[in-house]
Structure 1
Amino acid sequence: MKKLLVKWNEISLVKRIIIGIIIGIVLALTVPNYVSGISILGSLFVGALKAVAPVLVLFLVMHAIAAHKSGKKTNMKSILGLYAIGTLLAGIVAVLASFMFPVTLTLVTGVEDLSPPEGIVEVIETLLFNIVANPIDAIINANYLGILTWAIVLGLALKHASQQTKDMLGSYSDAITKVVQWVINLAPIGIMGLVFDAIVTSGLSALVEYGRLILILVGCMLLIALVVNPLIVYIYTRKNPYPLVFMVLRESGITAFFTRSSAANIPVNMKLCEKLGLDEDTYAVSIPLGATINMAGAAVTISVLTLATVNTLGIEVDFMTALMLSVVAAVSAAGASGVAGGSLLLIPLACSLFGVPNDIAMQVVGVGFIIGVVQDSCETALNSSSDVLFTATAEQAKERVEGKAVTVNS
């Protein structure tokens, strides 16, 4: 048994995940009633990731700030710029696609209990209050803006602490990172359970009616992941972007697709950044921050479903107003929670731009939940993988600039 486990662990994680996906599909299609307990494996895996992620972020960021040497530069400004550009372009792509391939909806009911934000001011207020949240509440509720704020403040306060204290923080950080590795090694089993549960509970029949809408959403996200983001990377780095793009999609996007939670994927992204040899001072902050504000997939969802609603109601929209929607979608997406379904509750906010009544907008949210098995999975995969992509891009761009400076000086 021990030899079998050793051989299993020698296989690359991606291959093991693919094996888990195949087993999950086969079991769901052949014996769903006899192995129903398999679905709990997926819930346990996602729960473990969500449990370890807040503690990981707190100690990793706190240690990175406390141990940071004065004069050493990070790439946070560049990364924040990349996050903003990527999210805005995603909204624009979604608007263009919705004009080129307009879709209408068959509206549903049953989402009256949900409470979407009433305006962009409320979204911004929520973000600000998340920043000043009680640290214990922030950890319990996986409020990453609050966790980041406290980690940075405590890290700054500990900058002048003794080396022994900093070493202790480093030991805690290393220990939690080790726990993360153990959890990530369970990904094949967890994803097998997630695939099984998705097929058994949702099936594929519910998606047929909304096939055209799903094609538009997924098509936009694929275009962003395989064309727009690589173009951004090339402009910044002047290197072939696709080796990096395919790596982050393979090693971050796959797990994000099945967990459907940017927050749960933080440990996976941290591990990938370490594998890429990126600066820990930078990715310790950029990855959890990206899980909160880097939401290209959410911008696509908000824009496409809003314009589908407008088309359904027969409202005439000029192109400039639709472009304004892409800006609102980008800003709103940055306020979407890093958990499954977060972007859907921002659709009523965007619909209000066109005078769509809230009761109709909430029916559109219901449509979003119906197609969520595909929409939210693809959205999270795009959001989370691009956190690593843009973090690595900023570092490569910095190296390119520094390399040019060395050449000029020599």
Structure 2
Amino acid sequence: MSKKSVARNYAFLAVMLGAMILGSIVGWIFPQELDAEGNVISAGATVLEPLGTLFLNMMFCIVVPMVFSSIAGSVATMKSRKRAGKIMGTTVLTFVITGAIAAVIMIVIMKIFPPVLEPWTNLTEGVVEDPISIPDLIVNFFTVSDFSGLLSRSAMLPLIVFSILFGFGVNLGPGPDSLIARFLTSLSEAMMKVVQLVTYYAPIAFFGFFANLVATYGSQIATDYARALVVYYPLCFIYIFVAFPLFAWFGGGKGAVKEMFRHIAKPAITSLGTCSSVATIPTNMEEAEATGISKDVSEIVVPLGATMHMDGSCFSCILKITFLFGVFGRPFDSIGDMALMVIVAVLSSVGMSGVPGGGYIGEFIMCSVFFPDQLAIAYPIAITIGNLVDPPATMINSAGDYVVSFLVSRFVDGKDWFQKVLASRNA
């Protein structure tokens, strides 16, 4: 990458950061005002939300054909089906391991800094909708009832499953050099160019995102949830600057950490602003390609990561559980409770869709396991915490998809894969 292109990329990131800061200031100066019953008196800077929604909707329109073409095309054009299986198996295993690590870290932090010091009193029960059964939940995670259901960003995991099957169908049928395989590859490349065009609008969108965020949640952040947020927000950034470099170093060796930091800012900022792992897929794939990660690796790891790699959600799941333990005055000293927390955090996070609000199902599962008798109280509290920590949680989830590509590359392309990338650049 030339110095001119690096400067251009950082200049664009600086513009996006400036837009975020300006939006936050506007949101703080013009907050949303509510009356005692929760009705809106003054919308404040929340009127700027459509600026961000426009960008988010454009990304959602892009992401369905991009995920399908990138995954199906990658599998279809692979000369070795064994390699495709190895990439997917290594990817899923890595997601589970990093999620469990994140959950254990958060349990330790919560033991040192418990989010609630005194049990709450006079709790009012919330309303819980009729829950979906576990069998139906499993079916809906992986399939839809009709093909048209795949053409929605709310069915990302079923779309990924279909894309993998379609890719193998092309690979086993017409073959990796067939016209349809080349079409899928060309479609994926075209969608990446569409992403570049849409990205020019990003600074305006981020101004609207953060103006609305601060105007809506600024007052809540300063209330009873502040202690939890004071622990959670810094932890997410510490994780980026401690765990991510370790993952990159283990995955790529010498020079990989520096390369990771050169490229991680864009997906981190995109995910922080959009609160969507799905909307960050195009950016992650773009940065993975610029890093030199094999295309077949990034085109499988990144889309899978949008629905299955949820380290930030594992953090927030443990935060919600320990927060509610404090609310109800329950200690969590037993090894059994802690082990169950890790299991629930990983399982509830792995199945979530990478869209805003996708954690609601995970929150219901979590509350059902730990607080079945207080479900109507626990569930609304968990949702509130989830909304407040969603931006940094999504940032860890999404930016981590790019970092996991380093780890998967080590096991698929060899531990010296990055050294070969550097050698080819210097050749």
TM-score class, shorter: 0.7 to 0.9
C-alpha contact (below 8 Å) 2:58/2:198 kept by paired residues: yes
C-alpha contact (below 8 Å) 2:248/2:257 kept by paired residues: no
1:277 aligns with 2:292: yes
Q: CA deviation at 1:206?
A: 4.3
C-alpha contact (below 8 Å) 1:103/1:308 kept by paired residues: yes
Matched length: 392
Counterparts of residues 114-129 of structure 1 (less than 5 Å)? 114=129, 123-127=137-141
Distance in 1 (alpha carbons) for counterparts of 2:8 and 2:210: 21
Which segment drifts farther, 68-77 or 359-368? 68-77
Q: 1:31 to 1:218 in 2, by over 3 A?
A: closer
Which segment drifts farther, 238-247 or 54-63? 238-247
Q: Which runs of 5+ in 2 are unaligned?
A: 1-6, 32-42, 421-427
Q: Which runs of 5+ in 1 are unaligned?
A: 1-7
Q: CA deviation at 1:285?
A: 1.6
1:346 aligns with 2:345: no
1:386 aligns with 2:385: no
Distance in 2 (alpha carbons) for counterparts of 1:244 and 1:292: 25
Q: 1:382 to 1:167 in 2, by over 3 A?
A: same
Corresponding residue number in structure 1 for 2:186:
171
Corresponding residue number in structure 2 for 1:4:
none
Quick one: which amino acid aligns to residue 16 of structure 1?
A: V
Corresponding residue number in structure 2 for 1:336:
352
C-alpha contact (below 8 Å) 1:132/1:149 kept by paired residues: no
Distance in 1 (alpha carbons) for counterparts of 2:223 and 2:70: 44
Counterparts of residues 220-299 of structure 1 (less than 5 Å)? 220-239=235-254, 242-299=257-314
Q: 1:135 to 1:388 in 2, by over 3 A?
A: farther
Q: CA deviation at 1:353?
A: 3.8
Q: CA deviation at 1:16?
A: 2.2
Q: 1:350 to 1:135 in 2, by over 3 A?
A: same
Q: CA deviation at 1:110?
A: 8.0
C-alpha contact (below 8 Å) 1:302/1:343 kept by paired residues: no
1:199 aligns with 2:214: yes
Quick one: which amino acid aligns to residue 156 of structure 1?
A: F
Q: CA deviation at 1:37?
A: 5.2
Distance in 2 (alpha carbons) for counterparts of 1:238 and 1:141: 35
TM-score by length of 2: 0.81
Distance in 2 (alpha carbons) for counterparts of 1:35 and 1:213: 26
Q: CA deviation at 1:47?
A: 0.9
Corresponding residue number in structure 1 for 2:78:
68
Quick one: which amino acid aligns to residue 54 of structure 1?
A: V
Q: 1:62 to 1:21 in 2, by over 3 A?
A: same
Distance in 2 (alpha carbons) for counterparts of 1:270 and 1:109: 45
Q: CA deviation at 1:36?
A: 6.6
C-alpha contact (below 8 Å) 1:110/1:366 kept by paired residues: no
Q: 1:290 to 1:39 in 2, by over 3 A?
A: same
C-alpha contact (below 8 Å) 2:371/2:378 kept by paired residues: no
Q: 1:48 aligns with which of 58, 61, 86?
A: 58
Counterparts of residues 308-323 of structure 1 (less than 5 Å)? 308-320=323-335, 321-323=337-339
C-alpha contact (below 8 Å) 2:249/2:257 kept by paired residues: no
Corresponding residue number in structure 2 for 1:92:
104
Q: 1:116 to 1:383 in 2, by over 3 A?
A: farther
Q: 1:166 to 1:365 in 2, by over 3 A?
A: same
TM-score by length of 1: 0.84
> Once the two structures are superposed, what CA deviation does each residue of 1:54-85 show, in whole Å capped at 9, x if it has no partner?
11111222222222223783533332222111
Equivalent residue of 2:154, what SS? Answer: coil
Distance in 2 (alpha carbons) for counterparts of 1:246 and 1:110: 45
Corresponding residue number in structure 2 for 1:18:
17
Quick one: which amino acid aligns to residue 335 of structure 1?
A: G
Q: CA deviation at 1:330?
A: 0.9
1:367 aligns with 2:384: yes
Distance in 1 (alpha carbons) for counterparts of 2:169 and 2:347: 32
Corresponding residue number in structure 1 for 2:390:
376
Q: CA deviation at 1:260?
A: 0.3
Which segment drifts farther, 393-402 or 327-336? 393-402
